[in-house]
Amino acid sequence: MQKRFSLGVLLIILLSFSTLSNAGIFDKAEYKTRRAKLMNSITDGIAIILGSEGERQNSNFIYFTGVEEPNAILIIDGMKKESILFLSSKGSKEKVAEMTGIERVMPIFRATRLLSSYQAQTDVIYIPFGRISGRYARKGLLNPGIRISRELNSIKFIREMFPSFRFKDLSPAIGKLRLIKSPAEIKIMREAARITSLAHLEVLRAAKPGMYEWELAVLFEYCVKRLGAQGTTGTLIVPSGPNISDSHYSKNSRKMEDGDIVMIDLCGEYKYYDMDISVSFPINGKFNPRQRRLNKMICAVEEAMRSVFRPGIRSINMKEEVQKIVAKKGIDIDKEGIYRIAADHWVGLDIHDVGPSSRETILQPGMVITSDPAIRLRDENNVVIDGNKIENTLLITKDGCENLTYRVPRTIEEIEKIMAEKGITDIFKELKR
């Protein structure tokens, strides 16, 4: 007994060592390049990037350092072209320096003193202001007690200590960098796509009438983690039947009935990179005539969109081209009410990744976007009675696009075939559970 216990302890120690010696997600050269590019847009000052407090590492922080430990601060000096990393832990500075390529690694309590010394060199501090626009700003106006972003809080704090500093928003510069994925990032995103797609396949194999929506959400989370992902990201959206009228539905509490269409929108995260996929399928595994018609239209539109996405275009202008292609198949996008014929959002370290407008930006190789046309049918009382939505995540290549999520079944035949395959619920049934 004693021996088994110490073996267990040894195993835990070995495992934690292997995590500590983790060389980071990318080679240090990748992080160095990212920081060097940022330095070029902040030549008149310094940038401050705050790490998270212990939840998932902040996307900007992971982008520039690869460091996962909480309560860390990164300063990028655009004048002297150097970076300084402040850590809360007493871990090995050499190891962190080796992993990140940052030579100046210091304990966190020295950050204030360093900031003070910068007063003699510049009055400009760049900090990503964070999202305070739209819905959030309106909420804040009604409820001034609402928690503002850590970045805005730190601005208040620095301002009180060192009134000479002016603050500029770092978000646009970071957004521009994160917009174009490097070959190393693309490699990771392909793996994120593989894992997220395989989890979707497992959900399709398991889906049966009589199950609750949450069962599919939980199964998806299990599968992505089992396949090596960090987990899911965004909300787990599993609307069935009447719930498809809400594109952000995530209560997932309804029992799915024979005849229902289900429109899942489930995203996985692997090494901090996200992947966005939606599939629409009949819970009973067989499309009825109305569902067949909607599937065929959305498949045709999504396929046409993929044939149009390419460098040099703005997705806001692509509808006409898509319309022409699908018109040959007898589909009228406007008459049918098919919507979202554009790059809905960027995908990267965040599921709705940072950067300028995904619809109005001229597409370039290395950008990753979603293609997610949808349709909702309404009855005479304007109640949604059926629908279909396909969401793929695409990489813009030098002459078109690559569908990262190509493994997900899309046509009626493909979806029905996968749904007929044995899934975990079939196994439970065999075992009479």
Q: Residues in contact with Mn ion, total (CB under 5 A)?
A: 2
Q: In the set 202, 274, 276, 302, which binds Mn ion (CB under 5 A)?
A: 276
Neighbours of 106 (CB within 10 A): 16
Between 129 and 339, whose beta carbon lies closer to Mn ion?
Answer: 339
Least CB distance to Mn ion at residue 347 (A) = 8
Q: In the set 100, 252, 370, 388, which binds Mn ion (CB under 5 A)?
A: 370
Contact predicate 255/212, CB 8 Å: yes
Between 172 and 234, whose beta carbon lies closer to Mn ion?
Answer: 234
Which position's Cβ is nearest Mn ion? 276
Contact predicate 407/201, CB 8 Å: yes
Give me the phi and psi of 270, to 5 degrees please: -125, 125
Site for Mn ion, residues 157 to 196, rule: CB under 5 A = none
Smallest CA-to-CA distance from 206 within 267, 295, 283, 265 is with: 283
Should residue 371 be labelled a site residue for Mn ion when binding is judged by CB under 5 A?
Answer: no
Between 75 and 275, whose beta carbon lies closer to Mn ion?
Answer: 275
Least CB distance to Mn ion at residue 277 (A) = 9
From 34-42, 176-184, 274-282, 401-409, span contacting Mn ion (CB under 5 A): 274-282
Between 202 and 276, whose beta carbon lies closer to Mn ion?
Answer: 276
Cα–Cα distances in Å, from 305 out to 104, 165, 200, 286?
A: 48, 47, 22, 26
Between 185 and 276, whose beta carbon lies closer to Mn ion?
Answer: 276
Between 155 and 298, whose beta carbon lies closer to Mn ion?
Answer: 298
Q: Which tokens is 285 given?
A: 């595994």
Contact predicate 28/97, CB 8 Å: no
Least CB distance to Mn ion at residue 408 (A) = 14
For 301, which DSSP code? H
Between 245 and 247, whose beta carbon lies closer to Mn ion?
Answer: 247
Between 151 and 350, whose beta carbon lies closer to Mn ion?
Answer: 350
Least CB distance to Mn ion at residue 263 (A) = 12
Contact predicate 290/281, CB 8 Å: no
From 175-183, 354-362, 368-376, 398-406, span contacting Mn ion (CB under 5 A): 368-376
Least CB distance to Mn ion at residue 320 (A) = 23
Order of all β-strands in the sheet with 166-169? 104-107, 82-87, 73-77, 46-50, 124-127, 166-169
CA–CA separation, 130 and 169 (whole Å): 9
From 121-129, 153-161, 272-280, 285-293, span contacting Mn ion (CB under 5 A): 272-280
Query: Strand 273-282 and strand 343-346: pairing?
Result: unpaired
CA–CA separation, 307 and 309 (whole Å): 6
Tally helices (H) and strands (E) across the chain.
Answer: 15, 15
Least CB distance to Mn ion at residue 358 (A) = 10
Positions touching Mn ion (CB under 5 A) are: 276, 370
